[in-house]
Amino acid sequence: MKGRTILEPGMTKREFLKFCGVSFCALSAAQLFGPPKPVRAQMPQKGLIKTKLSPYFTSLGGGDIQCELCPKQCRVRRGERGACRVRENRDGKCYSLVYANPCAFHPDPIEKNPFFHVLPGTWSLSLATAGCNFTCKFCQTWEISQASPEDVFSYEILPELVVKRAKQMRTRSVSYTYVEPIIFYEYMVEVGFLAKKAGLLSLIHSNGFINPDPLRNLSKVIDGANIDLKAFTDEFYRELCGGELNPVLETLKTLRQEKIHMEITNLIIPTKNEDMSLVREMCLWIKKELGTDTPLHFSRFYPLYKLKNLPPTPVSTLEEARAVALSAGLEYVYIGNVPGHEGENTFCPQCKKMIIQRTGYMVGEVHLKGGKCEYCGKPIPGIWA
């Protein structure tokens, strides 16, 4: 595509995102789909705006509580907050401090989240609040994910208004993304319920670090999930994320059981999780537990936040990981953050022909008919209508 000629070598992911969000997306929207309809903007404000009682906590006596939303199971004293910084003990009860006050709220190409097997070329209303239950040293949105609600400017947007705005913007889905959406769980569930009634999809991009009961409840109102499987060792999760691997694996299995469309993203970081023997082990686990048709995205790392000393991931490393995944039997394996790479495209695993062509967030040719390969008729997993 002609637009590729203005991409500069060595462009960082943030620069690329900005470029795609402003230039490619505006171009593709105007030429292919029409731009999202503008709506009257609200003025953001700093500080706590709304709170919501959480259904997931246990009283421990003496005013202490234990949050039951994620596997950290934070024990929180009266007046204090859990590790995510957005759940507070108020008089012996657990309250979300970010209910209906997102700090990010705008339409994105659905491929940005990234979803490659959900309504290609459409727009999704993306929203996020401050906070996260991980402390990833390589976080791309650390300004909000590692912030407290009082530290950022947020909007007051009730669930009903989210759906109304999504309709006004002519988006086909709502995406909970940018930070860990589990931390604004109550907001997400209510928006998801109303979105489903309005005929919109609900999609999450999540670290998968959530307890089973809230996850199964969430599965009633979401349609798709892209889960960051950050590495395949506990050591990586402990040292670089402040989390654990096993709960994420359990989340992936539960989502499969709940029949939620699922894609996986693995950010490959030089010297940290590029061991191809572990990549192969991860891919074999995906094949066995989730199925060969689970889309897997290998994403390119750029030096950010606390890992600025590391280089960007060599494209050759991503290509090697993709080859390992394909040889392990996975059918849909992608390379992310390398615009124009062949690994952005979707190929039919049966006839090997390209059925969805992409450059960055732009979608070109699509050869699907009724969710099947237009050439050989093989069903392709995803949400296509």
We report the CATH number of the domain holding residue 303 as: 3.20.20.70
Q: Residue 59: helix, strand or coil by DSSP?
A: strand
Co-location of 69 and 206 in the same domain: no
CB contact at 8 A, 351 and 338:
no
Position 36 scores a pLDDT of 62
Position 12 scores a pLDDT of 43
Position 168 scores a pLDDT of 96
pLDDT greater than 90 at residue 144: yes
CB contact at 8 A, 210 and 189:
no
Co-location of 278 and 360 in the same domain: yes
Sign, CA dihedral 247-224-173-107, equals: positive
pLDDT greater than 60 at residue 159: yes
Residue 170 binned pLDDT confidence (cut-offs 50, 70, 90)? very high
Q: 114 — phi, psi (to 5°)?
A: -100, 135
Co-location of 69 and 210 in the same domain: no
As a whole number of angstroms, the distance between CA 204 and CA 369 comes to 26
Q: Looking at the domain assignment, is residue 13 inside a domain?
A: no
Q: 321 — phi, psi (to 5°)?
A: -60, -40
pLDDT greater than 90 at residue 37: no
Co-location of 33 and 151 in the same domain: yes
In the chain, what percentage of residues exceed pLDDT 90?
A: 86
| Domains held by the chain: number | 2
Per-residue pLDDT tens digits for 52-80: 999 999 999 899 999 999 999 999 999 99
pLDDT greater than 70 at residue 6: no
Per-residue pLDDT tens digits for 254-300: 999 999 999 999 999 999 999 999 999 999 999 999 999 999 999 99
Co-location of 193 and 67 in the same domain: no
Q: Looking at the domain assignment, is residue 260 inside a domain?
A: yes
- Which of these, 219, 200, 230, 190, lies nearest to 110 by C-alpha position? 200
pLDDT greater than 90 at residue 367: yes
DSSP 8-state secondary structure symbol assigned to residue 40:
P
Q: Check residues 208 and 48 and name the one with the higher pLDDT.
A: 208
Position 24 scores a pLDDT of 31
Task: Point out the domain boundary residue: 61, 77, 96.
Answer: 96
Query: Could you report how far apart the first and last alpha carbons of the chain are, in Å?
Result: 26
Co-location of 79 and 105 in the same domain: no
Average pLDDT rounded to a whole number, residues 367-371: 97
Q: Looking at the domain assignment, is residue 15 inside a domain?
A: no
* Peptide bond preceding 107 in cis form (omega within 30 of 0): no
Q: Looking at the domain assignment, is residue 384 inside a domain?
A: no
pLDDT greater than 50 at residue 4: no
Q: Report CA dihedral (33, 180, 88, 189) to the nearest 10 degrees.
A: 50
Per-residue pLDDT tens digits for 307-364: 999 999 999 999 999 999 999 999 999 999 999 999 999 999 999 999 999 999 999 9
Q: Looking at the domain assignment, is residue 3 inside a domain?
A: no
Residue 44 binned pLDDT confidence (cut-offs 50, 70, 90)? confident
pLDDT greater than 60 at residue 5: no
Residue 45 binned pLDDT confidence (cut-offs 50, 70, 90)? confident
pLDDT greater than 70 at residue 8: no
As a whole number of angstroms, the distance between CA 248 and CA 226 comes to 12
Q: Looking at the domain assignment, is residue 154 inside a domain?
A: yes
Residues 6+ apart with CB under 8 A from 182: 69, 70, 133, 206, 207, 209, 210, 214
pTM, two decimals, is 0.89
- For residue 201, give its domain range: 21-43+101-373
- Which of these, 89, 98, 95, 177, lies nearest to 131 by C-alpha position? 98
Helices H, strands E: what count in the chain?
Answer: 10, 21
Q: Looking at the domain assignment, is residue 379 inside a domain?
A: no
DSSP 145-214: HTS-GGGSEE----HHHHHHHHHHTT-SEEEE-SS-GGGGHHHHHHHHHHHHHTT-EEEEEE-----HHH
Co-location of 81 and 193 in the same domain: no
Q: Looking at the domain assignment, is residue 14 inside a domain?
A: no
Average pLDDT, the chain: 91
Co-location of 119 and 86 in the same domain: no
* 30-39, 159-168, 176-185, 297-306: least confident range: 30-39
DSSP 8-state secondary structure symbol assigned to residue 104:
E
DSSP 8-state secondary structure symbol assigned to residue 14:
H
**Secondary structure, 3-state, 211-269:** CHHHHHHHCCCCCEEEEECCCCCHHHHHHHHCCCCHHHHHHHHHHHHCCCEEEEEEEEC
Residue 40 binned pLDDT confidence (cut-offs 50, 70, 90)? low
Q: Check residues 48 and 138 and name the one with the higher pLDDT.
A: 138
Query: What kind and span of H or E run contains 76?
Result: strand 75-76
CB contact at 8 A, 353 and 17:
no
In the chain, what percentage of residues exceed pLDDT 70?
A: 89
* 151-155, 227-231, 284-288: least confident range: 151-155
Co-location of 91 and 118 in the same domain: no
CA 57 to each of CA 88, 89, 92, 213: distance values in angstroms, whole numbers, following the listed order: 11, 10, 10, 12
Co-location of 60 and 140 in the same domain: no
Co-location of 310 and 235 in the same domain: yes
Residue 124 binned pLDDT confidence (cut-offs 50, 70, 90)? very high
Co-location of 85 and 117 in the same domain: no
